[in-house]
């Protein structure tokens, strides 16, 4: 009996994994190159296949196996670039690096397994309530992945929708709300064509879906933002420093000289250099180097944002962005604006309790950094308020939203991401991080400027459209104009003070309503 159950569980696991392949493809740059709608279509088919599986499941355990297989393959395909970091740069044996990625993805997929099991257990065999129930449970699973153990919501469902009709929901519901709506609509479409559903309901559903598609295609999305001030002339640097050389003393001189030369020579209002463009503490740089780098901006009309580590052994170290302009001369911290990274990367910037042994096996210059404030002030440049964030901090839109409703400075008019993805290979992570950045611009209706070591160094307007682009994995300088915007989206208004909790609360209400037994 136990053997039979084990075989049955394996069948459901493999069936879910097969559907998860399509879900993973929604985050592949190769698929995105086919047509802008291709990621959305791949995700739609993947979710439809999963809904069919869950509908056929007779026990909650079967739903759990299917969801676990789906989620594990989805996340391995969406975050497999971690293997490059662990093996190529971390020096872990290939089996250990691959195993670590697989175990992490399998662990994170347990949230989805629980959601799928709950749906099989709680469904009422009623068409629309069951569809709403699956979407609500899906949202809770993705919210858990975003919040628990500091969160790792990379490749969340909504990011594949950045070029889909559902993108109009971004300034209202954010990325997780978009994912919930997609799952609910997909479930409704699939469940409408099972024998229990009447022909009238099927025709009505198809008609409503067609009308919504046409309305979205022909009507412009809601606009909450308006132009603020004059456009900034920006210069964005992409050093393309190989990760194997970035922290090696014999190679650092060349990269330092290139970045310093480009920073000082930059024209326009603002120059931005990537995360750790200066890989050493200012006190460890050659004498006079740091002062000479800042001086042109402390006396002229230009401003600079520069990625650099800061701190000391006594007070702790931070992964930071330094802002310098004539207006910052009177500030503390050496007359510069300072943004310290708030959302640190586990294993990369802090070591989770109990995992020192794992970190000691890797040949990486890892730090144990101090966390910066969540509601950080913005940096003023020619009347615009530029809000920096570092690396994968822009994955957490609910945390960035706090800057729009706080009182430290006016709300940001431009988002600025500095990053270094050289740890993770040459293409996949770069493509996915660009999806994320575009979604953030859509949620807040703010332009985003990105200065990265290897890509994607771009300018994104407040509609989420890439207007200026520098080829990844090349050394270069991108010069462009960016128009700041003001005005708050509904997402910024509710996520700023309350984070994801309003969405979570709505999902719980939907679950309660959808699982109520009809009155006899």
| Residues annotated as part of the active site | 275, 341, 391
The terminus-to-terminus CA distance of the chain in angstroms comes to: 38
The Cα 169–Cα 489 span in angstroms is: 11
Angle at the Cα of 273 from the Cα atoms of 271 and 278, rounded to 5 degrees: 135
The two three-digit tokens of residue 226, written as one number: 């308006």
Beta bridge partners of residue 415, listed in sequence order:
387, 448
The Cα 170–Cα 183 span in angstroms is: 15
The Cα 264–Cα 331 span in angstroms is: 21
Name the residue among 70, 22, 76 with its Cα closest to residue 45. 22
Name the residue among 301, 227, 234, 304 with its Cα closest to residue 480. 234
What phi, psi does 227 have (nearest 5°)? -60, 140
For the chain, the maximum distance between any two Cα atoms, rounded to a whole number of angstroms, is 83
Q: Residue for token digits 């402390």?
A: 298
Report yes or no: 159 and 115 within 8 Å, Cβ to Cβ. no
Q: Residue for token digits 């200026």?
A: 468
The Cα 448–Cα 173 span in angstroms is: 19
3-state DSSP call for residue 321?
Answer: strand
Q: What is the DSSP letter of 490?
A: H
* DSSP β-ladder status, 226-227 and 232-238: unpaired
The two three-digit tokens of residue 223, written as one number: 């606009």
The two three-digit tokens of residue 138, written as one number: 């899906």
The two three-digit tokens of residue 182, written as one number: 């997609």
Report yes or no: 342 and 376 within 8 Å, Cβ to Cβ. yes
For the beta carbon of residue 331, count every other beta carbon within 10 angstroms. Answer: 13
Of the CA atoms within 13 Å of residue 418, those in its CB half-sphere come to 29
The Cα 390–Cα 349 span in angstroms is: 12
């Amino acid at each position: 009996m136990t053997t039979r159950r084990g075989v049955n569980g394996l069948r459901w696991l493999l069936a879910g994994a097969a559907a998860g392949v399509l879900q993973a493809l929604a985050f592949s740059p190769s698929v995105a190159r086919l047509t802008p709608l291709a990621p959305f279509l791949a995700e739609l088919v993947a979710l439809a296949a999963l809904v069919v599986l869950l509908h056929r499941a007779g026990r909650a355990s079967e739903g759990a196996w299917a969801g676990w297989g789906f989620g594990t393959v989805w996340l391995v395909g969406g975050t497999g670039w971690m293997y490059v970091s662990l093996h190529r740069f971390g020096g872990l044996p290939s089996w250990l690096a691959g195993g670590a990625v697989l175990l992490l993805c399998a662990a994170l997929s347990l949230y989805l397994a629980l959601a799928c099991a709950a749906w099989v257990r709680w469904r009422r065999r009623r068409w629309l309530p069951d569809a709403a129930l699956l979407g609500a449970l899906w949202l809770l699973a993705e919210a858990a992945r975003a919040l628990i153990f500091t969160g790792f919501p990379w490749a969340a469902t909504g990011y594949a929708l950045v070029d889909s009709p559902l993108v109009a929901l971004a300034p209202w519901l954010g990325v997780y709300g978009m994912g919930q709506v997609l799952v609910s609509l997909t479930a409704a479409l699939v469940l409408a064509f099972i024998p229990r559903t009447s022909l009238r309901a099927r025709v009505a559903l198809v008609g409503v879906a067609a009308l919504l598609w046409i309305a979205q295609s022909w009507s412009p999305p809601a606009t909450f933002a308006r132009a603020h001030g004059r456009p900034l002339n920006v210069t964005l640097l992409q050093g393309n420093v190989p990760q194997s050389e970035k922290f090696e003393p014999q190679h650092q001189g060349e990269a330092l000289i290139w970045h310093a030369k480009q920073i000082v020579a930059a024209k326009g209002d603002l120059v931005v250099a990537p995360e750790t463009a200066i890989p050493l503490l200012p006190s460890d740089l050659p004498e006079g180097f740091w002062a000479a780098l800042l001086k042109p901006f402390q006396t002229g009309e230009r401003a600079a944002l520069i990625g650099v580590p800061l701190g000391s052994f006594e007070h702790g170290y931070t992964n930071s962005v330094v802002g310098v302009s004539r207006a910052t001369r009177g500030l503390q911290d050496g007359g510069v604006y300072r943004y310290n990274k708030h959302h640190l990367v586990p294993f990369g910037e802090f070591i989770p309790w109990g995992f020192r042994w794992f970190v000691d096996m890797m040949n990486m210059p890892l730090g144990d950094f101090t966390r910066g404030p969540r509601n950080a002030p913005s940096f003023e440049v020619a009347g615009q308020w530029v809000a920096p964030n570092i690396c994968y901090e822009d994955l957490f839109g609910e945390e960035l939203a706090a800057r729009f409703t706080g009182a430290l400075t006016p709300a940001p008019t431009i988002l600025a991401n500095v990053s270094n993805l050289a740890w993770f290979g040459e293409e996949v992570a770069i493509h996915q991080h660009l999806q994320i950045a575009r979604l953030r611009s859509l949620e807040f209706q703010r332009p985003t400027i990105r200065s990265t070591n290897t890509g994607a160094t771009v300018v994104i307007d407040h509609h989420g459209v890439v207007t200026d682009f520098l080829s990844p994995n090349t050394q270069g300088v991108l010069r462009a104009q960016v128009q700041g915007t003001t005005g708050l989206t509904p997402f910024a208004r509710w996520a700023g003070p309350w984070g994801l909790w309003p969405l979570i609360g709505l999902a719980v209400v939907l679950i309660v309503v959808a699982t109520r037994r009809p009155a006899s």
